[in-house]
Structure 1
Amino acid sequence: MANFSKWLGAGLGWTFAGPIGGILGFVLGSFVDEFSESDLMDLNKKSGGQQSTQSGDFEISLLVLAAIVIKSDGSVDKRELDFVRSSFIGMYGKERANHAFKLFKGIIQNNKISTRQVCLQINRHMNHASRLQLLHFLFGVAKSDGMVTEKELNKINTIAGYLNINQYDFNSIKAMFYNEVDSSYKILEIDKTASDQEIKAAYRKMVKKYHPDKLRNLGEEHVKGGEEKFRQVQKAYEHIQKERGL
Protein backbone atom coordinates (compact mmCIF):
# COMPACT_ATOMS: atom_id res chain seq x y z
CA MET A 1 0.00 0.00 0.00
CA ALA A 2 2.95 2.31 0.59
CA ASN A 3 3.79 2.24 -3.14
CA PHE A 4 0.20 3.10 -3.99
CA SER A 5 0.25 6.00 -1.53
CA LYS A 6 3.54 7.23 -2.99
CA TRP A 7 2.15 7.07 -6.53
CA LEU A 8 -1.03 8.90 -5.64
CA GLY A 9 0.78 11.61 -3.72
CA ALA A 10 3.35 12.31 -6.43
CA GLY A 11 2.54 14.99 -8.97
CA LEU A 12 -1.02 15.64 -7.79
CA GLY A 13 -2.13 19.16 -6.99
CA TRP A 14 -5.53 20.66 -7.67
CA THR A 15 -7.29 17.31 -8.17
CA PHE A 16 -7.48 16.87 -4.38
CA ALA A 17 -9.80 19.87 -4.17
CA GLY A 18 -13.32 20.27 -5.54
CA PRO A 19 -15.50 17.53 -7.04
CA ILE A 20 -12.56 15.45 -8.26
CA GLY A 21 -11.19 15.37 -4.71
CA GLY A 22 -14.60 14.14 -3.58
CA ILE A 23 -14.46 11.34 -6.16
CA LEU A 24 -10.99 10.32 -4.97
CA GLY A 25 -12.24 10.34 -1.40
CA PHE A 26 -15.15 8.09 -2.32
CA VAL A 27 -12.91 5.63 -4.14
CA LEU A 28 -10.25 5.51 -1.44
CA GLY A 29 -12.84 5.14 1.31
CA SER A 30 -14.83 2.44 -0.49
CA PHE A 31 -12.23 0.37 -2.29
CA VAL A 32 -8.91 0.90 -0.56
CA ASP A 33 -9.53 -0.06 3.07
CA GLU A 34 -6.03 0.85 4.17
CA PHE A 35 -6.66 4.52 3.41
CA SER A 36 -8.38 6.75 5.94
CA GLU A 37 -9.59 10.34 5.71
CA SER A 38 -6.39 11.45 7.45
CA ASP A 39 -4.35 9.58 4.81
CA LEU A 40 -6.09 11.58 2.09
CA MET A 41 -5.35 14.81 3.96
CA ASP A 42 -1.70 13.81 4.23
CA LEU A 43 -1.57 13.16 0.50
CA ASN A 44 -3.09 16.57 -0.12
CA LYS A 45 -0.35 18.15 1.99
CA LYS A 46 2.29 16.25 -0.01
CA SER A 47 0.88 17.71 -3.20
CA GLY A 48 1.64 21.17 -1.84
CA GLY A 49 -1.74 22.56 -2.93
CA GLN A 50 -0.37 23.19 -6.41
CA GLN A 51 -2.59 25.17 -8.77
CA SER A 52 -0.76 24.39 -12.01
CA THR A 53 -1.55 21.15 -13.80
CA GLN A 54 0.79 18.30 -12.94
CA SER A 55 1.11 14.93 -14.68
CA GLY A 56 -0.92 13.31 -11.89
CA ASP A 57 -3.74 15.85 -12.25
CA PHE A 58 -4.00 15.07 -15.95
CA GLU A 59 -3.90 11.35 -15.23
CA ILE A 60 -6.79 11.49 -12.75
CA SER A 61 -8.76 13.73 -15.13
CA LEU A 62 -8.34 11.11 -17.87
CA LEU A 63 -9.66 8.39 -15.55
CA VAL A 64 -12.70 10.35 -14.37
CA LEU A 65 -13.76 11.54 -17.83
CA ALA A 66 -13.15 8.09 -19.35
CA ALA A 67 -15.44 6.58 -16.72
CA ILE A 68 -18.15 9.11 -17.61
CA VAL A 69 -17.93 8.30 -21.33
CA ILE A 70 -17.77 4.52 -20.84
CA LYS A 71 -20.94 4.55 -18.73
CA SER A 72 -22.81 6.98 -20.98
CA ASP A 73 -24.43 4.24 -23.10
CA GLY A 74 -25.55 2.26 -20.07
CA SER A 75 -22.93 -0.51 -20.23
CA VAL A 76 -19.27 -1.02 -19.38
CA ASP A 77 -17.54 -2.69 -22.32
CA LYS A 78 -14.42 -4.73 -21.57
CA ARG A 79 -12.80 -3.48 -24.78
CA GLU A 80 -13.08 0.10 -23.52
CA LEU A 81 -11.58 -0.86 -20.16
CA ASP A 82 -8.76 -2.66 -21.95
CA PHE A 83 -8.12 0.45 -24.05
CA VAL A 84 -7.75 2.58 -20.93
CA ARG A 85 -5.41 0.06 -19.34
CA SER A 86 -3.23 -0.42 -22.43
CA SER A 87 -3.08 3.35 -23.03
CA PHE A 88 -1.90 3.93 -19.48
CA ILE A 89 0.71 1.19 -19.79
CA GLY A 90 1.97 2.87 -22.95
CA MET A 91 2.13 6.28 -21.29
CA TYR A 92 3.23 5.45 -17.76
CA GLY A 93 4.60 1.91 -17.67
CA LYS A 94 3.03 -1.20 -16.17
CA GLU A 95 3.48 -0.45 -12.45
CA ARG A 96 2.00 3.04 -12.56
CA ALA A 97 -0.75 1.87 -14.92
CA ASN A 98 -1.72 -0.90 -12.49
CA HIS A 99 -2.11 1.66 -9.70
CA ALA A 100 -4.14 3.92 -11.97
CA PHE A 101 -6.40 1.11 -13.13
CA LYS A 102 -7.04 0.05 -9.54
CA LEU A 103 -8.29 3.58 -8.89
CA PHE A 104 -10.19 3.58 -12.19
CA LYS A 105 -12.24 0.52 -11.23
CA GLY A 106 -13.36 2.41 -8.15
CA ILE A 107 -14.24 5.51 -10.15
CA ILE A 108 -16.37 3.39 -12.49
CA GLN A 109 -18.45 2.28 -9.49
CA ASN A 110 -19.24 5.86 -8.45
CA ASN A 111 -22.68 6.75 -9.81
CA LYS A 112 -22.76 10.28 -8.43
CA ILE A 113 -20.17 11.95 -10.65
CA SER A 114 -21.26 15.36 -11.93
CA THR A 115 -19.91 15.81 -15.46
CA ARG A 116 -20.38 19.57 -15.29
CA GLN A 117 -18.65 20.06 -11.94
CA VAL A 118 -15.71 17.83 -12.87
CA CYS A 119 -15.23 19.63 -16.19
CA LEU A 120 -15.47 23.07 -14.63
CA GLN A 121 -12.71 22.14 -12.19
CA ILE A 122 -10.53 20.85 -15.03
CA ASN A 123 -11.25 23.94 -17.11
CA ARG A 124 -10.10 26.25 -14.31
CA HIS A 125 -6.67 24.65 -14.06
CA MET A 126 -5.80 23.07 -17.41
CA ASN A 127 -4.62 24.85 -20.54
CA HIS A 128 -6.28 24.51 -23.93
CA ALA A 129 -3.74 22.08 -25.41
CA SER A 130 -4.16 19.71 -22.46
CA ARG A 131 -7.95 19.86 -22.72
CA LEU A 132 -7.73 19.00 -26.42
CA GLN A 133 -5.59 15.99 -25.49
CA LEU A 134 -8.27 14.88 -23.00
CA LEU A 135 -10.87 15.07 -25.76
CA HIS A 136 -8.72 13.03 -28.13
CA PHE A 137 -8.33 10.33 -25.48
CA LEU A 138 -12.10 10.20 -24.89
CA PHE A 139 -12.79 9.60 -28.58
CA GLY A 140 -10.21 6.82 -28.47
CA VAL A 141 -12.03 5.23 -25.53
CA ALA A 142 -15.41 5.47 -27.26
CA LYS A 143 -14.08 4.06 -30.56
CA SER A 144 -12.20 1.17 -28.92
CA ASP A 145 -15.22 -1.16 -29.08
CA GLY A 146 -15.57 -0.59 -32.82
CA MET A 147 -17.86 2.45 -33.00
CA VAL A 148 -18.77 5.66 -31.23
CA THR A 149 -22.40 5.39 -30.19
CA GLU A 150 -24.74 8.38 -30.37
CA LYS A 151 -24.91 8.54 -26.56
CA GLU A 152 -21.11 8.50 -26.30
CA LEU A 153 -20.82 11.19 -28.96
CA ASN A 154 -23.37 13.37 -27.17
CA LYS A 155 -21.57 12.92 -23.86
CA ILE A 156 -18.18 13.82 -25.36
CA ASN A 157 -19.77 16.86 -27.02
CA THR A 158 -21.20 17.91 -23.65
CA ILE A 159 -17.79 17.47 -22.02
CA ALA A 160 -16.18 19.55 -24.78
CA GLY A 161 -18.66 22.34 -24.13
CA TYR A 162 -17.94 22.37 -20.41
CA LEU A 163 -14.20 22.40 -21.19
CA ASN A 164 -14.60 25.49 -23.42
CA ILE A 165 -13.56 23.57 -26.53
CA ASN A 166 -15.25 25.18 -29.53
CA GLN A 167 -17.12 23.26 -32.21
CA TYR A 168 -14.32 23.63 -34.77
CA ASP A 169 -11.83 21.96 -32.44
CA PHE A 170 -14.40 19.33 -31.47
CA ASN A 171 -15.11 18.48 -35.11
CA SER A 172 -11.38 18.42 -35.90
CA ILE A 173 -10.64 15.80 -33.26
CA LYS A 174 -13.84 13.89 -34.01
CA ALA A 175 -12.84 13.64 -37.68
CA MET A 176 -9.66 11.81 -36.66
CA PHE A 177 -11.85 8.86 -35.66
CA TYR A 178 -14.23 8.84 -38.64
CA ASN A 179 -13.39 7.76 -42.16
CA GLU A 180 -15.56 10.21 -44.08
CA VAL A 181 -15.08 11.93 -47.43
CA ASP A 182 -14.35 15.34 -45.90
CA SER A 183 -12.54 14.13 -42.75
CA SER A 184 -9.20 15.58 -43.88
CA TYR A 185 -10.76 19.02 -44.31
CA LYS A 186 -12.51 18.84 -40.94
CA ILE A 187 -9.24 17.92 -39.23
CA LEU A 188 -7.72 21.11 -40.67
CA GLU A 189 -10.87 23.03 -39.66
CA ILE A 190 -11.59 24.17 -43.21
CA ASP A 191 -14.20 23.61 -45.95
CA LYS A 192 -13.64 21.66 -49.15
CA THR A 193 -14.22 24.91 -51.04
CA ALA A 194 -11.08 26.47 -49.49
CA SER A 195 -8.36 27.68 -51.82
CA ASP A 196 -4.93 26.06 -51.92
CA GLN A 197 -3.47 29.02 -50.04
CA GLU A 198 -6.16 28.77 -47.37
CA ILE A 199 -5.42 25.06 -46.96
CA LYS A 200 -1.70 25.74 -46.52
CA ALA A 201 -2.47 28.42 -43.93
CA ALA A 202 -4.87 26.09 -42.12
CA TYR A 203 -2.22 23.36 -42.02
CA ARG A 204 0.34 25.72 -40.47
CA LYS A 205 -2.23 26.82 -37.89
CA MET A 206 -3.14 23.25 -36.92
CA VAL A 207 0.51 22.20 -36.69
CA LYS A 208 1.00 24.91 -34.07
CA LYS A 209 -2.21 24.01 -32.23
CA TYR A 210 -1.52 20.27 -32.03
CA HIS A 211 2.25 20.34 -31.66
CA PRO A 212 3.27 17.80 -28.97
CA ASP A 213 5.58 20.34 -27.31
CA LYS A 214 2.47 22.12 -26.00
CA LEU A 215 2.05 19.17 -23.60
CA ARG A 216 5.63 19.19 -22.34
CA ASN A 217 4.58 20.68 -18.99
CA LEU A 218 2.74 17.41 -18.30
CA GLY A 219 5.82 15.25 -18.85
CA GLU A 220 7.36 13.29 -21.70
CA GLU A 221 4.70 10.56 -21.44
CA HIS A 222 2.07 13.06 -22.59
CA VAL A 223 4.25 14.56 -25.30
CA LYS A 224 4.32 11.07 -26.78
CA GLY A 225 0.53 10.82 -26.47
CA GLY A 226 0.10 14.14 -28.26
CA GLU A 227 2.06 12.95 -31.27
CA GLU A 228 -0.94 11.03 -32.60
CA LYS A 229 -2.98 14.22 -33.15
CA PHE A 230 0.04 15.79 -34.84
CA ARG A 231 0.37 12.79 -37.20
CA GLN A 232 -3.31 13.01 -38.07
CA VAL A 233 -2.90 16.65 -39.11
CA GLN A 234 0.05 15.75 -41.31
CA LYS A 235 -1.83 12.80 -42.80
CA ALA A 236 -4.85 14.98 -43.54
CA TYR A 237 -2.71 17.60 -45.28
CA GLU A 238 -0.89 14.98 -47.35
CA HIS A 239 -4.25 13.49 -48.40
CA ILE A 240 -5.51 16.89 -49.57
CA GLN A 241 -2.22 17.59 -51.37
CA LYS A 242 -2.53 14.31 -53.26
CA GLU A 243 -6.20 14.91 -54.01
CA ARG A 244 -5.50 18.40 -55.43
CA GLY A 245 -2.15 17.59 -56.98
CA LEU A 246 -0.34 20.19 -54.91
Structure 2
Amino acid sequence: MAIFSTLSALLQSIPAAGRTTVEAVIEAIRSLFAGDRETRRKVAFSVAIIALSAKMAKADGVVSQAEVAAFRQILEIPPEEMRNVFRLYDIAKQDIAGFDAYAARLRALCEDENGNCQLLGDVLDALFHIAKADGVIHEGELAFIEEVASIFGLDRRAFERLRDRHIAGPDNPFAVLGLPSDATAAEARKQYLSLVKENHPDRLAARGVPDEFMFIASERMKAINAAYSKIAKRQAA
Protein backbone atom coordinates (compact mmCIF):
# COMPACT_ATOMS: atom_id res chain seq x y z
CA MET A 1 0.00 0.00 0.00
CA ALA A 2 1.95 2.92 -1.38
CA ILE A 3 0.34 5.67 0.68
CA PHE A 4 1.57 4.15 3.94
CA SER A 5 5.18 3.95 2.76
CA THR A 6 4.77 7.61 1.79
CA LEU A 7 3.60 8.40 5.32
CA SER A 8 6.73 6.66 6.55
CA ALA A 9 8.87 8.95 4.38
CA LEU A 10 6.96 11.95 5.73
CA LEU A 11 7.65 11.02 9.34
CA GLN A 12 11.32 10.40 8.61
CA SER A 13 11.59 13.94 7.20
CA ILE A 14 10.43 15.52 10.48
CA PRO A 15 13.18 16.21 13.06
CA ALA A 16 12.93 13.88 16.03
CA ALA A 17 14.19 16.47 18.51
CA GLY A 18 11.55 18.20 20.63
CA ARG A 19 7.80 17.72 20.50
CA THR A 20 6.46 17.26 17.00
CA THR A 21 3.32 19.22 16.18
CA VAL A 22 0.65 18.84 13.54
CA GLU A 23 1.85 22.19 12.17
CA ALA A 24 5.25 20.61 11.54
CA VAL A 25 3.58 17.68 9.79
CA ILE A 26 1.61 20.04 7.52
CA GLU A 27 4.75 21.99 6.62
CA ALA A 28 6.57 18.72 5.91
CA ILE A 29 3.78 17.70 3.52
CA ARG A 30 4.02 21.03 1.73
CA SER A 31 7.81 20.90 1.32
CA LEU A 32 8.46 17.18 0.87
CA PHE A 33 5.86 16.77 -1.88
CA ALA A 34 6.15 20.25 -3.42
CA GLY A 35 6.71 18.83 -6.90
CA ASP A 36 4.09 16.09 -6.73
CA ARG A 37 0.59 17.52 -6.45
CA GLU A 38 -1.24 14.18 -6.54
CA THR A 39 0.84 12.65 -3.76
CA ARG A 40 0.53 15.84 -1.71
CA ARG A 41 -3.29 15.62 -1.91
CA LYS A 42 -3.31 11.95 -0.92
CA VAL A 43 -0.93 12.45 1.98
CA ALA A 44 -2.93 15.47 3.21
CA PHE A 45 -6.12 13.38 3.13
CA SER A 46 -4.43 10.53 4.99
CA VAL A 47 -3.05 12.79 7.70
CA ALA A 48 -6.44 14.50 8.01
CA ILE A 49 -8.18 11.21 8.80
CA ILE A 50 -5.55 10.21 11.32
CA ALA A 51 -5.12 13.55 13.08
CA LEU A 52 -8.77 14.62 13.23
CA SER A 53 -9.76 11.16 14.49
CA ALA A 54 -7.29 11.66 17.32
CA LYS A 55 -8.58 15.16 18.03
CA MET A 56 -12.18 13.90 18.06
CA ALA A 57 -11.26 11.14 20.52
CA LYS A 58 -9.68 13.73 22.79
CA ALA A 59 -12.69 16.07 22.52
CA ASP A 60 -15.11 13.29 23.45
CA GLY A 61 -12.90 11.96 26.22
CA VAL A 62 -13.59 8.28 25.48
CA VAL A 63 -12.13 5.99 22.81
CA SER A 64 -14.12 2.77 22.51
CA GLN A 65 -12.83 -0.43 20.94
CA ALA A 66 -15.56 -0.09 18.31
CA GLU A 67 -14.19 3.33 17.33
CA VAL A 68 -10.66 1.97 17.08
CA ALA A 69 -11.97 -0.83 14.86
CA ALA A 70 -13.79 1.73 12.67
CA PHE A 71 -10.61 3.79 12.40
CA ARG A 72 -8.73 0.70 11.22
CA GLN A 73 -11.52 -0.17 8.75
CA ILE A 74 -11.02 3.17 7.03
CA LEU A 75 -7.25 2.96 6.93
CA GLU A 76 -6.65 -0.76 6.27
CA ILE A 77 -3.25 -0.34 7.89
CA PRO A 78 -0.59 -2.92 6.96
CA PRO A 79 1.05 -4.41 10.09
CA GLU A 80 4.47 -3.01 9.17
CA GLU A 81 3.06 0.54 8.99
CA MET A 82 0.98 0.43 12.19
CA ARG A 83 3.70 2.17 14.19
CA ASN A 84 3.93 5.10 11.76
CA VAL A 85 0.16 5.62 11.62
CA PHE A 86 -0.19 5.61 15.38
CA ARG A 87 2.79 7.93 15.74
CA LEU A 88 0.83 10.47 13.70
CA TYR A 89 -2.25 9.72 15.82
CA ASP A 90 -0.30 10.40 19.02
CA ILE A 91 1.27 13.58 17.59
CA ALA A 92 -2.20 14.99 16.96
CA LYS A 93 -3.61 13.80 20.27
CA GLN A 94 -0.75 15.33 22.28
CA ASP A 95 -0.42 18.55 20.28
CA ILE A 96 -1.56 21.51 22.39
CA ALA A 97 -2.90 23.26 19.29
CA GLY A 98 -6.67 22.91 19.02
CA PHE A 99 -8.36 20.96 16.27
CA ASP A 100 -9.68 24.23 14.85
CA ALA A 101 -6.17 25.42 14.06
CA TYR A 102 -5.36 22.13 12.36
CA ALA A 103 -8.62 22.05 10.37
CA ALA A 104 -7.94 25.60 9.15
CA ARG A 105 -4.40 24.65 8.07
CA LEU A 106 -5.75 21.62 6.25
CA ARG A 107 -8.30 23.74 4.40
CA ALA A 108 -5.57 26.21 3.44
CA LEU A 109 -3.40 23.36 2.15
CA CYS A 110 -6.35 22.06 0.17
CA GLU A 111 -7.06 25.50 -1.30
CA ASP A 112 -3.53 25.58 -2.62
CA GLU A 113 -4.75 22.88 -5.00
CA ASN A 114 -6.69 25.42 -7.09
CA GLY A 115 -9.59 25.35 -4.65
CA ASN A 116 -10.27 21.61 -5.12
CA CYS A 117 -11.49 20.86 -1.61
CA GLN A 118 -14.10 18.20 -2.25
CA LEU A 119 -11.97 15.64 -0.44
CA LEU A 120 -12.67 17.51 2.81
CA GLY A 121 -16.21 16.12 2.59
CA ASP A 122 -14.73 12.63 2.50
CA VAL A 123 -12.81 13.45 5.70
CA LEU A 124 -16.10 14.42 7.39
CA ASP A 125 -17.71 11.18 6.21
CA ALA A 126 -14.87 9.23 7.80
CA LEU A 127 -15.26 11.11 11.09
CA PHE A 128 -18.98 10.29 11.18
CA HIS A 129 -18.20 6.62 10.49
CA ILE A 130 -15.86 6.51 13.49
CA ALA A 131 -18.15 8.52 15.77
CA LYS A 132 -21.17 6.24 15.23
CA ALA A 133 -19.19 3.00 15.51
CA ASP A 134 -20.19 2.46 19.15
CA GLY A 135 -23.88 2.76 18.29
CA VAL A 136 -24.42 6.44 19.09
CA ILE A 137 -22.91 9.77 18.04
CA HIS A 138 -22.28 11.58 21.30
CA GLU A 139 -23.02 15.28 21.70
CA GLY A 140 -19.32 16.15 21.93
CA GLU A 141 -18.53 14.22 18.76
CA LEU A 142 -21.34 15.86 16.81
CA ALA A 143 -20.26 19.33 17.97
CA PHE A 144 -16.68 18.51 16.96
CA ILE A 145 -17.65 17.35 13.46
CA GLU A 146 -19.96 20.32 12.98
CA GLU A 147 -17.19 22.76 13.89
CA VAL A 148 -14.72 21.02 11.57
CA ALA A 149 -17.31 21.18 8.78
CA SER A 150 -17.72 24.91 9.37
CA ILE A 151 -13.97 25.48 9.23
CA PHE A 152 -13.81 23.42 6.03
CA GLY A 153 -16.34 25.81 4.52
CA LEU A 154 -19.30 23.42 4.33
CA ASP A 155 -22.54 25.42 4.39
CA ARG A 156 -25.24 24.66 6.95
CA ARG A 157 -27.59 22.90 4.54
CA ALA A 158 -24.83 20.64 3.21
CA PHE A 159 -23.79 19.74 6.76
CA GLU A 160 -27.37 18.91 7.72
CA ARG A 161 -27.64 16.56 4.72
CA LEU A 162 -24.40 14.87 5.75
CA ARG A 163 -25.51 14.62 9.37
CA ASP A 164 -28.94 13.28 8.48
CA ARG A 165 -27.47 10.65 6.17
CA HIS A 166 -25.45 9.23 9.07
CA ILE A 167 -27.90 9.74 11.93
CA ALA A 168 -31.38 9.49 10.37
CA GLY A 169 -30.41 7.36 7.39
CA PRO A 170 -31.39 3.92 8.72
CA ASP A 171 -34.93 5.15 9.40
CA ASN A 172 -35.27 7.80 6.69
CA PRO A 173 -34.01 6.83 3.23
CA PHE A 174 -34.96 10.26 1.88
CA ALA A 175 -32.40 11.81 4.26
CA VAL A 176 -29.68 9.61 2.77
CA LEU A 177 -30.37 10.99 -0.69
CA GLY A 178 -30.82 14.54 0.61
CA LEU A 179 -34.47 14.67 -0.48
CA PRO A 180 -37.69 15.87 1.18
CA SER A 181 -40.02 13.05 2.22
CA ASP A 182 -42.57 14.06 -0.43
CA ALA A 183 -40.12 13.77 -3.35
CA THR A 184 -41.59 12.16 -6.47
CA ALA A 185 -40.30 8.94 -8.04
CA ALA A 186 -38.71 10.98 -10.85
CA GLU A 187 -36.98 13.31 -8.38
CA ALA A 188 -35.69 10.38 -6.35
CA ARG A 189 -34.26 8.65 -9.41
CA LYS A 190 -32.63 11.83 -10.70
CA GLN A 191 -30.97 12.46 -7.32
CA TYR A 192 -29.91 8.83 -7.02
CA LEU A 193 -28.21 8.83 -10.44
CA SER A 194 -26.48 12.12 -9.61
CA LEU A 195 -25.10 10.68 -6.36
CA VAL A 196 -23.93 7.49 -8.08
CA LYS A 197 -22.04 9.56 -10.64
CA GLU A 198 -20.56 11.86 -7.99
CA ASN A 199 -19.32 8.92 -5.91
CA HIS A 200 -17.83 6.85 -8.72
CA PRO A 201 -14.33 5.62 -7.75
CA ASP A 202 -12.77 7.57 -10.63
CA ARG A 203 -14.27 10.80 -9.27
CA LEU A 204 -12.93 10.09 -5.80
CA ALA A 205 -9.45 9.26 -7.07
CA ALA A 206 -9.43 12.50 -9.09
CA ARG A 207 -9.98 14.57 -5.96
CA GLY A 208 -7.19 12.88 -4.05
CA VAL A 209 -8.82 10.04 -2.12
CA PRO A 210 -6.20 7.26 -1.93
CA ASP A 211 -7.14 3.76 -3.08
CA GLU A 212 -6.49 2.50 0.44
CA PHE A 213 -9.34 4.63 1.78
CA MET A 214 -12.08 3.60 -0.64
CA PHE A 215 -13.85 1.87 2.26
CA ILE A 216 -15.71 5.10 3.02
CA ALA A 217 -16.79 5.44 -0.61
CA SER A 218 -18.00 1.84 -0.58
CA GLU A 219 -20.01 2.40 2.61
CA ARG A 220 -21.49 5.59 1.19
CA MET A 221 -22.60 3.81 -1.98
CA LYS A 222 -24.12 0.96 0.04
CA ALA A 223 -26.18 3.53 1.95
CA ILE A 224 -27.23 5.34 -1.24
CA ASN A 225 -28.24 2.10 -3.01
CA ALA A 226 -30.16 0.80 0.01
CA ALA A 227 -31.96 4.12 0.46
CA TYR A 228 -33.02 4.34 -3.17
CA SER A 229 -34.20 0.72 -3.11
CA LYS A 230 -36.42 1.48 -0.07
CA ILE A 231 -37.82 4.62 -1.70
CA ALA A 232 -38.54 2.85 -4.99
CA LYS A 233 -40.37 0.03 -3.20
CA ARG A 234 -42.46 2.49 -1.18
CA GLN A 235 -43.39 4.53 -4.23
CA ALA A 236 -44.24 1.43 -6.27
CA ALA A 237 -46.56 0.08 -3.58
TM-score, with normalisation over the residues of structure 2?
0.76
Give the one of 71, 91, 98 matched to 1:106.
91
Give the deviation of 1:172 after TM superposition: 3.3
**CA RMSD of superposed structures (Å):** 3.4
Determine if the alignment matches structure 1 residue 8 to structure 2 residue 5.
Answer: no
CA gap 1:231/1:85 in 2 versus in 1, 3 angstroms? closer
Work out the CA distance in 2 between the residues paired with 1:100 and 1:216.
21
Report the equivalent of 2:104. 120
CA gap 1:29/1:41 in 2 versus in 1, 3 angstroms? farther
Give the one of 108, 129, 134 matched to 2:123.
134
Give the deviation of 1:169 after TM superposition: 3.3
Work out the CA distance in 2 between the residues paired with 1:175 and 1:63.
24
Give the one of 229, 232, 236 matched to 2:223.
232
Deviations 1:13-65 (A, max 9, x none): xxx9xxxxxxx77x97337xxxxx9xx99886543365564322111111121
Work out the CA distance in 2 between the residues paired with 1:187 and 1:128.
22
Query: Residues 80-99 of structure 1: matches in 2 within 5 Å?
Result: 80-88=67-75, 90=76, 92-99=77-84
Report the equivalent of 2:234. 243
Conservation of the 8 A alpha-carbon contact between 2:51 and 2:88: no
Higher mean alpha-carbon deviation, 117-126 vs 40-49, is at 40-49
Letter in 2 for 1:70: A
Report the equivalent of 1:66. 53
Deviations 1:198-226 (A, max 9, x none): 11121122223323322214332234432
Letter in 1 for 2:196: V
Give the deviation of 1:70 after TM superposition: 1.4
List gaps (5 residues or longer) in structure 2.
111-115
Q: With CA pairs under 8 Å and 6+ residues apart, which has the higher RCO, 1 or 2?
A: 2
CA gap 1:206/1:87 in 2 versus in 1, 3 angstroms? closer
CA gap 1:86/1:179 in 2 versus in 1, 3 angstroms? same
Report the equivalent of 2:34. 48
Give the one of 195, 199, 213 matched to 1:222.
213
Give the deviation of 1:149 after TM superposition: 0.6
CA gap 1:107/1:119 in 2 versus in 1, 3 angstroms? closer
SS in 2 for 1:54: helix
Deviations 1:139-196 (A, max 9, x none): 1111122210111111111111111223343233333433567631111111011122
Work out the CA distance in 2 between the residues paired with 1:42 and 1:193.
50
Deviations 1:66-101 (A, max 9, x none): 12221222334444234323432x2x4332343112
SS in 1 for 2:18: helix
Alignment coverage as a number of residue pairs: 222
List gaps (5 residues or longer) in structure 1.
17-23, 32-36
Work out the CA distance in 2 between the residues paired with 1:226 and 1:131.
13
Query: Residues 165-204 of structure 1: matches in 2 within 5 Å?
Result: 165-179=154-168, 183-204=172-193
